[in-house]
Structure 1
Amino acid sequence: MKILKVTFYFLALIVVSEASAQQGKTILFFGDSITAGYGLEEEQAFPAFIQKKLDENGHRYRAVNAGLSGETSAGGLRRIDWVLQQQVDIFVLELGGNDGLRGIDPRNTKENLQGIIDKVKAKYPDATIILTGMEAPPNMGGDYTQTFRTLFTELAQANDVIFMPFILEGVAGDPELNLPDGIHPTEEGHRIIAKNLWAYLKDIL
């Protein structure tokens, strides 16, 4: 079943990629279950709300949701070459949350995310990159959570990319904005993510 789901994901991405070529420029959202909209329909995830904002404001961009539930930074690094077969004008990188949940060494997470950024820059040097930060759960301990938080800031500074410090700002920790698992946002939570992210996107379109 997992193989079928992944196969369907890649086939769907091909279809969307072909459509994007006819719709002007492309914003690629590359991430994990937060981007994918775990527990929701695709049109309820924040990339879909960004698409609505693009359309409402007359921007000829196609928002491509390349989120994959359960993805780690290592998985993203393995997957990125395939995803970059399509044109990318703006690349939104949202990965690392599952690394934090699993207690993966932040140095490994940082190295993997750097590898993804390097590949995007090599393939599309004119693309704008937005890096979104994530927080590790507090039960991982103070030293780990601080190191984890800092790795995103350091990556943004080292690569001169646009930085959104916390993708779940205003959403995390609010039971009304998250599914019963307390981790994944509801539709309203995704609306807030889209609103926050739009503040970074609107000035570079």
Structure 2
Amino acid sequence: MRILLMFCYILLLITSTSCRETSDKKTSTSIEDIEAEDNMQATTSKDKVILFFGNSLTAGMGLDVEEAFPAVIEQKLDSLGLSYKVINAGLSGETTASGKNRVEWILNQKVAVFVLELGANDGLRGIPPSETKSNLQAIIDVVREKNPETEIILAGMQMPPNLGEDYTTEFKNIFPELAEKNNIELIPFLLENVAGIPELNQGDGIHPTVEGQKIMAENVWVVLKDIL
């Protein structure tokens, strides 16, 4: 009888310990699962979007998309540990008119920063600056309507002097005037220190090389960093 009681006691002790260990393991697994889920949600929630909306300058025509200035900006953000997702919505040949038609469906997601880079193709085609200005204003209005919290950066552009002084002056003034009117940030001239420099542009003399794109990224970063 004594041996039987001792056996029962040992069996009860083993069973109790086993149950406690199993319970501890379940609790531990549950905590790990919760922490993993929390981390995933935190990562998702802090991933804000910077959308670059432009033409071939943004798209990086003639280069790999990883070499275009939006990708250079993304590399800088990653190196600084800033959790922003960069979207390159550049489209070669885009004018302000076609951009106005495209912007509605490109804003299907919440955007923290919207970088508007359009107008160069308008100028090269001789489109009246008043029309370019009106289209850019319409794009700004759509972004504001979709999400009033979105920070907008307008990339300034200039035309070569062969288009005539009156035209180039009126065109250049579009961008600071819109920036002031809408209280948005302005990159004075996206192609500063790139335009007109042969070694920083591809064979067509218009689209920047890899090094030119890096300089453009710096021109953008000067303004963007203060917003972030």
TM-score, normalised to structure 1, is 0.88
Q: Name the residue aligned to 2:152.
A: 129
**1: CA distance between counterparts of 2:46 and 2:123?**
36
Secondary structure of the 1:143 match is: helix
Give distance in 2, aligned partners of 1:47 and 1:201: 12
> Which structure has the bigger radius of gyration?
2
Give the percent of matched residue pairs that are identical in Structure 1 and Structure 2: 59
Quickly say closer, same or farther: Cα 1:21–1:111, change in 2 above 3 A: farther
1:85 aligns with 2:108: yes
What is the aligned partner in structure 2 of residue 169 from structure 1? 192
What amino acid sits opposite 2:161 in the alignment?
A: P
1:22 is displaced (CA, Å) by: 7.0
Question: Which whole-Å CA distance do the structure 2 matches of 1:87 and 1:188 have between them?
Answer: 31
Per-residue CA deviations over 1:128-158 (Å, capped at 9, x if unaligned) read: 0000111122211000000000011110110
Q: In structure 2, what is the equivalent of residue 75 of structure 1? A: 98
Q: Structure 2: where are the runs of 5+ without partners?
A: 1-42
User: Where do residues 112-151 of structure 1 align in structure 2 (5 Å cutoff)?
Assistant: 112-151=135-174
- Supply the distance in 2 between the matched residues of 1:21 and 1:160 (Cα, whole angstroms): 30
Q: Which amino acid aligns with 1:191?
A: K
How far apart, CA to CA, are the structure 1 residues paired with 2:76 and 2:92? Answer: 24
The number of residue pairs the alignment matches comes to 186
Provide the residue aligned with 1:17 in structure 2: none
CA 1:23/1:188 → structure 2, altered by over 3 Å: closer, same or farther? Answer: farther
1:181 aligns with 2:181: no
Alignment of 1:8-157 (within 5 A): 24-157=47-180
For structure 1, the residue ranges without an aligned partner over 5 or more in a row are 1-19
> Given residue 166 of structure 1, which amino acid in structure 2 is its aligned partner?
F
Q: Distance in 1 between matches of 2:186 and 2:74?
A: 20
Question: Quick check: 1:204 aligned with 2:224?
Answer: no
In structure 1, give the amino acid aligned to 2:192: E
2:82 is paired with a residue of what secondary structure?
coil
Provide the rounded CA distance (Å) in 2 between the counterparts of 1:23 and 1:125: 19
Which is richer in helix? 2
Task: Tell me if the contact between 1:100 and 1:137 (Cα under 8 Å) persists in the aligned partners.
Answer: no
- Distance between the aligned counterparts of 1:145 and 1:151, measured in 2? 10
| Whole-Å separation in 1 of the counterparts to 2:144 and 2:163 | 33
TM-score (norm 2): 0.80
> How many angstroms apart in 2 are the aligned matches of 1:196 and 1:120?
23
1:166-185 per-position Cα deviation (integer Å, ceiling 9, x unaligned)? 10001001111000100000
Separation in structure 2 between the aligned mates of residue 120 and residue 87 of structure 1, nearest angstrom = 10
Question: Alpha carbon RMSD of aligned pairs, Å?
Answer: 1.3
